[in-house]
Chain A
Amino acid sequence: GAGVSQSPRYKVAKRGQDVALRCDPISGHVSLFWYQQALGQGPEFLTYFQNEAQLDKSGLPSDRFFAERPEGSVSTLKIQRTQQEDSAVYLCASSPRQAREAGGELFFGEGSRLTVL
């Protein structure tokens, strides 16, 4: 596709339910990032993939959060046993370059808004 695509755009989950959020990056992009954005705040880093390798998952808030990118393209962020504090917009971004390379431009998806009741 022409841009980064995320689905679903909106998800309402009951507390304790598992959710899966999908990100389709721009074709050929090496780097993929997941961010969590609470209402009124800037995005907070969750995890980073370089192709299929998850090189940094230091931002994942708990072991209920899991991300994968098995073939180096589409990525899925899974949240198990959702809690109310997980309610946020989850943003995916991709870049044509490795994250360590200066000047890598970021392309963002529209985000997936998760509401946990």
Chain B
Amino acid sequence: KNEVEQSPQNLTAQEGEFITINCSYSVGISALHWLQQHPGGGIVSLFMLSSGKKKHGRLIATINIQEKHSSLHITASHPRDSAVYICAAHGLYGQNFVFGPGTRLSVLP
């Protein structure tokens, strides 16, 4: 079993739809990151959270430490949101980050 799992693996949505991407992890963490990777490889850090909820524009990230689960929500989705979204867990004692496999999102106009 992978330490960090994501669902769905692929997601196609119509412009304007509300989108949820889920991340579950099996290790204790000190922080969880949500990353966005566009075609061509560039990765941008969207959120870093260790508890509760964070909001930035149309993006919302939540985490439930007890359930070892985090969600990334996109409101009023737009084609420019099309990308791969990756969650990465920073372990309590480890020195590296463990990445989920990513969720490929396509938002159609």
Contact = CB atoms under 8 A, between A and B. Distances in A.
B96 to A, nearest CB: 4
A116 B48 CA distance: 35
Contacts of A48: 95-96
Contact of B48 (A37, A44, A59, A103): A103
A102 B31 contact: yes
A100 B90 CA distance: 9
Interface stretch (B39-47, B57-65, B68-76): B39-47
Interface residues of B, number: 26
B48 A111 contact: no
B97 A33 contact: yes
A45 B98 CA distance: 7
Interface string A7-44: 00000000000000000000000000101010001111
User: Looking at chain B's contact residues, is the secondary structure mostly helix, strand, loop, or mixed?
Assistant: strand
Given A105-B48, A110-B40, A45 B96 contact: yes
Contacts of A111: 41-43
Interface residues of A, number: 28
A117 interface: no
Given A42-B86, A107-B45, A99 B95 contact: yes
B86 A43 contact: yes
Interface in B46-103: 48, 50, 86, 88, 90, 93-102
B30 A110 contact: no
Given A91-B43, A93-B43, 20 more contacts: A33-B97, A35-B99, A42-B86, A42-B100, A42-B102, A43-B86, A45-B96, A45-B98, A55-B95, A56-B95, A99-B90, A103-B30, A103-B50, A106-B48, A108-B45, A110-B40, A110-B41, A111-B42, A111-B43, A113-B41
Interface of B: 4, 30-31, 33, 35, 40-45, 48, 50, 86, 88, 90, 93-102
6 contacts: A42-B100, A99-B90, A99-B95, A103-B30, A111-B41, A113-B41
